[in-house]
Amino acid sequence: MEEKMMEDQKPCEVKVKETTPAMDKQSFFSVIERLASNPDVDVEKIQRIMNMQEQLLNRTAKQAFNAAMVRAQQKMPVVGKDKKNEQTHSMYAGYETIIKACQPVYTKEGFSVTFYQGHGTEEVPIGKDEIRVMADIMHEDGHTKTVHVDIPVETTGPKGGVLMTKTHATGSGFAYGKSYLLRMIFNIPTGGDDDGNAAGGIQFITEEQISTILDFINAKNVDQAKFLKYMNAKTIELIPAADFKKAVASLRMAKGTAAT
């Protein structure tokens, strides 16, 4: 399974413009009931009024959602990387670890998150050996946002060796998808032994570049350990951006093993 981390950044402070709250539902429907009982009132006008009220309620709920998201992201702690991806030999923060550290923060701001398995559509298909992990981000004021990520379900390693059963791989992929989405939704920063490099100003390769390198490694059956030793990097994620061309050049010339 390819490990694809998003670089986490603390959001800057954002001021959300305050708006006058919409009329509460009980008062609004009382007005509508009185209007409906009047035979001189145009039914189409009542419908337009109801549509306008619904739009206003939706807009107010979305503003509350966005404001709460800003506050939640500003309060998110740095979560340690405690899980290892055997495919990329890199560390990432597991779902249980993220939940323990971050759930109290986002629930205090009125959020809840529900995960479930999704299915491909004609507009957004899903790969044959992938699992779609869905997440509904719900806020107490009524707005809900849905996001998803497609995770490869891989039972074999780069060299074709069996790593796990299909059932185990599916469960592992779903768990990883949940942790990935939580990090993405709340912009959760993760850290570990390699944080000193990031603090020193080193820029590492992007997710797209990670995918490019993994494609070369899988296509040419390259020994990852030798490749990482040649690149002087602990994991593929920690290859400096300045060394990306060097990495690709060595992989292009590789014949079963990386350049040494």
Over residues 138-186, the pLDDT tens digits come to 999 999 999 998 888 876 655 566 667 778 888 888 988 898 899 999 9
Residues 25, 71 within the same domain:
yes
Helix/strand/coil (H/E/C) assignment for every residue in the chain? CCCCCCCCCCCCCCCCCCCCCCCCHHHHHHHHHHHHCCCCCCHHHHHHHHHHHHHHHHHHHHHHHHHHHHHHHHHCCCEECCEEECCCCEEECCHHHHHHHHHHHHHHCCEEEEEEEECCCCCCCCCCCEEEEEEEEEECCCCEEEEEEEEECCCECCCCCECCCHHHHHHHHHHHHHHHHHHHHHCCCEECCCHHHHHCCCCECCHHHHHHHHHHHHHHCCCHHHHHHHHCCCCHHHCEHHHHHHHHHHHHHCCCCCCC
Q: In total, how many domains does the chain have?
A: 2
In the listed set 169, 192, 215, which residue is the last one of a domain according to the structure? Answer: 192
Residues 21, 142 within the same domain:
yes
Residues 47, 158 within the same domain:
yes
**Residue 246: domain span:** 195-260
Say which residue, 14 or 36, is predicted with more confidence: 36
Model confidence pLDDT, tens digit, residues 39-87: 766 777 767 777 887 888 899 999 999 999 999 999 999 888 777 666 5
Q: Which pTM was predicted?
A: 0.57
Residues 154, 201 within the same domain:
no
- What pLDDT band is residue 5 in, cutting at 50, 70 and 90? very low
Residues 177, 260 within the same domain:
no
Residues 218, 159 within the same domain:
no
